[in-house]
Amino acid sequence: MLDFNVPPFTGKEFDYIKQAVEERKICGDGRFTKLCSEWMEKRFQVKHALLTTSCTHALEMAAHLTGIGPGDEVILPSYTFCSTADAFVQRGATLVFVDIRPDTMNIDEKLIEDAVTERTKVIAPVHYAGVACAMDEIMDIAKRHGLQVVEDAAQGVDAYYKGRALGTIGDFGCYSFHETKNFSMGEGGAVVFSREDKLEDAEILREKGTDRSKFFRGQIDKYTWVSYGSSYLPSDMNAAYLWAQLELADEIRADRMATYDFYHRELRDLAEKGYLEQPFVPDYAQHNAHMYYIKLKDEPTRAAMIRHLRSCGVHSVFHYVPLHTATAGKKYGRFHGEDRYTTKDSERLLRLPMFYGLKQEERELVAESVRSFFIH
Ligand SMILES: *Cc1c(COP(=O)(O)O)cnc(C)c1O
């Protein structure tokens, strides 16, 4: 059976983990954490990249740093992972879901402004599949209404909007290094931002409410508990695993892109004949081949396709069940406007195997198996 996902592994991981252990520095903010952070800051042109224990935790930090609280509202898509919402629920904020655009599955920027009220504090766009949201429009709405923007770029690491790295356009960006993402450390993530006024608060929040980061930089001679905080810094052993991939980021990217382009080419005639729909990448987006999905006619067709692919030895998976239809979504939020595409298109979407190191014969098996569902 061809797996849907295999965690990225380049070969250097064991060596780097061994180094971290031998250097007797395995807690947070060691040498490998620094290498990863500096790499991100340079490549993504952002002032600060703080490694975290997950993207969920990066989102929690970002939500906290916006100052959003009970009675305030956050505008987000319903078609996303629950972590985007959880971070704001933790602050006591109310979720306001807005419909997606069917072409990219991203929040429809044209529907955001109508959902803004005097209580809105934050817009949280999600760059689905590493394809950028329409950030100029979103930032313009935020500016005109005095809102902050938290980008859920969990899937958008090393993807770009008009040349700017996803996650670096809004006030805060959140990355995931979970094993299902392009670069991994098992569980992990990062919060990135360029606002200097937020660095100290972010460091304190990440280090149990202490000013230990300043202490490590030699700026103060002892550290104390200065504010509320949690423990959001990952072990340097995890960072060592991640570093092995960031070093080879271009190779990982090219390999995933080759899979994406192969699927896209091979399935084009099926799309032209109307059997399925292929993903769309707007001109303003430079994606990172995080995902390859197809959209089928309806949910029963998708279920039949999943069974067919399994019988061909291919594991395919669907994705999010819209948050506003979930128990927690109903409890903590509301859907603003009409649900034209969120439910309908989430039920039609199917993700094909996509991971670093997928072999050419495996790519061919996937494409042939999709084809044989329609054409016998
Ligand atoms: C994976 C993902 C997350 C959560 O990332 P973790 O690192 O597992 O916490 C959040 N949002 C989106 C859109 C994701 O794809």
* 126 Cβ closer than 6 Å to some ligand 1 atom: yes
CATH number, residue 334: 3.90.1150.10
Report yes or no on 355 lying in a domain: yes
Task: Tell whether 130 and 264 lie within a shared domain.
Answer: no
Q: Is the CB of 288 within 6 Å of ligand 1? A: no
Question: Does 51 share its domain with 168?
Answer: yes
Q: Report the nearest atom of ligand 1 relative to the CA of 188.
A: 7
Question: For every residue of 267-314, which 3-state class applies, written as one string?
Answer: CHHHHHCCCCECCCCCCCEECCCCCEEEECCCHHHHHHHHHHHHHCCE
Distance CA 289, CA 156 (A): 9
151 lines ligand 1 (CB under 6 A): no
Q: What is the total count of domains within the chain?
A: 2
Question: Is the same domain home to 94 and 195?
Answer: yes
Indicate which atom in ligand 1 lies nearest the CA of residue 83. Answer: 10
Closest CA to 159 of 285, 41, 326: 285
Q: Please list the pLDDT of the chain residue by residue as tens digits (376 residues).
A: 999 999 999 999 999 999 999 998 899 999 999 999 999 999 999 999 999 999 999 999 999 999 999 999 999 999 999 999 999 999 999 999 999 999 999 999 999 999 999 999 999 999 999 999 999 999 999 999 999 999 999 999 999 999 999 999 999 999 999 999 999 999 999 999 999 999 999 999 999 999 988 888 888 888 999 999 999 999 999 999 999 999 999 999 999 999 999 999 999 999 999 999 999 999 999 999 999 999 999 999 999 999 999 999 999 999 999 999 999 999 999 999 999 999 999 999 999 999 999 999 999 999 999 999 999 8
Q: How far is the CA of 9 from the centre of ligand 1 (A)?
A: 19
Q: How far is the CA of 368 from the centre of ligand 1 (A)?
A: 31
Going by DSSP bridges, is the β-strand pair 189-193/48-52 parallel, antiparallel, or unpaired? antiparallel
- Residues 340 and 357 occupy one common structural domain: yes
Determine, yes or no, domain membership for 179.
Answer: yes
Same domain, 254 and 240: no
CB 348 within 8 A of CB 302: yes
Same domain, 271 and 305: yes
Q: Tell me which residue range forms the domain holding 311.
A: 249-374
The answer to the question of residue 8 being in a domain is no
Q: Quote the pTM value.
A: 0.98
Number of Cβ within 10 Å of residue 201's Cβ equals: 17
Kindly state whether residues 80 and 212 are assigned to the same domain. yes
